């Protein structure tokens, strides 16, 4: 463990041990060690290779539905062969340890659920689900349907992935649940996220500015929130989170 982290974890220990209510916001960095690419990292991020405005907006979908559908099919495939990593598993251990624990995630890969996390708030949807483009109602058993994309069996509109695209609102219930979980939490983690995408990043800003909560960031890189958090643990989530769990259970 890096010396700076040892010192910080030592200072954090008592707060972590005493807390009853904890919230963690996760981003793509948590799945990086499962082989799922992040978005904004210079060489490896998806947005270094693909243009979000051509793939992750409703205009892009309307302009070229097969292109967008196939891109998400490729990502769905990639995610389906990925396994949860030690970071996902450590978050399950934290949920088992704390009486109140909420996991707010921007990830659409479902790996938190696969690892065994239960109280998951998905802010950006889930890539394994699809919904109808016009009416937004969920559609089950769609993988046997013909077409790229297939048409909704109920209303005939095109099907699209059930993820949040740029310019779209977050699912209202998810946002309400996230804000609710944050209200009485004592420790708030921001893990593996560049903290650049709003409104998800605004949750962390609220935790820093408006709530009486200890804010801990886990990231190998600096982000816009790093100067303002109480503890900035520098390194990978797959390494630091298990160390943090050891602090609690050993």
Backbone angles phi, psi at 52, to 5 degrees: -55, -35
Contact with ligand OAD (CB under 6 A) among 65, 220, 243, 247: 220
- Determine, following the binding rule CB under 6 A, whether residue 5 of this chain makes contact with ligand OAD: no
* Residue (21 or 72) nearer to ligand OAD, CB: 72
Q: Which stretch binds ligand OAD (CB under 6 A): 134-142, 153-161, 176-184, 234-242?
A: 234-242
- Determine, following the binding rule CB under 6 A, whether residue 61 of this chain makes contact with ligand OAD: no
Output the CA torsion sign for 98, 102, 107, 111: positive
Through-space distance between the first and last CA atoms of the chain, rounded to whole angstroms: 17
Binding mask 154-193 for ligand OAD (x = CB under 6 A): ---------xx---------------------------xx
88 is catalytic: no
Radius of gyration of the chain measured on its C-alpha atoms: 19
Strand positions, DSSP E, 1-148: 21-26, 100-105, 120-122, 125-132, 138-139
- Determine, following the binding rule CB under 6 A, whether residue 236 of this chain makes contact with ligand OAD: yes
Distance of CA 242 to CAs 24, 102, 211, 236, 248, Å?
A: 14, 18, 26, 11, 10
- Determine, following the binding rule CB under 6 A, whether residue 34 of this chain makes contact with ligand OAD: no
* Residue (166 or 183) nearer to ligand OAD, CB: 166
- Determine, following the binding rule CB under 6 A, whether residue 219 of this chain makes contact with ligand OAD: yes
Helices 86-97 and 237-249: crossing angle, nearest 10°?
A: 30
The answer to whether 9 touches 239, Cβ cutoff 8 Å, is: no
Contacts with ligand OAD, residue ranges (CB under 6 A): 27-29, 32-33, 38-41, 45, 56, 106, 124, 163-164, 192-194, 196-197, 218-221, 223, 236-238
Question: What are the catalytic residues?
Answer: 124
């Amino acid at each position: 463990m890096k010396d700076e982290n040892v010192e910080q974890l030592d200072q954090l220990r008592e707060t972590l041990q005493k807390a009853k209510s904890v919230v963690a916001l996760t981003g793509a960095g948590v799945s990086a060690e499962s082989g799922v690419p992040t978005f904004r990292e210079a060489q490896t991020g998806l947005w270094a290779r693909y243009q979000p405005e051509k793939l992750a907006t409703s205009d892009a979908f309307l302009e070229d539905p097969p292109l967008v559908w196939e891109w998400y099919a490729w990502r769905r495939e990639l995610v389906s062969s990925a396994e949860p990593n030690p970071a996902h598993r450590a978050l399950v251990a934290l949920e088992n340890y704390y009486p109140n624990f909420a996991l707010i995630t921007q990830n659409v890969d479902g790996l938190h659920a696969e690892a065994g996390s239960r109280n998951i708030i998905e802010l950006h949807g889930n890539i394994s689900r699809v919904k109808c483009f016009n009416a937004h109602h969920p559609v089950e058993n769609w993988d046997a349907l013909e077409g790229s994309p297939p048409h909704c069996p109920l209303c005939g509109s095109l099907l699209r992935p059930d993820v949040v695209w740029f310019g779209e609102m977050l699912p209202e219930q998810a946002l309400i649940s996230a804000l609710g979980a944050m209200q009485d939490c004592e420790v708030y983690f921001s893990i593996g996220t560049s903290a650049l995408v709003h409104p998800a990043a605004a949750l962390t800003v609220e935790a820093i500015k408006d709530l009486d909560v200890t804010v801990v960031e886990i990231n190998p890189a600096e982000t816009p929130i790093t100067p303002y958090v109480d503890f900035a643990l520098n390194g990978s989530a797959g390494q630091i989170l298990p160390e943090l769990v050891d602090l609690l259970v050993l």
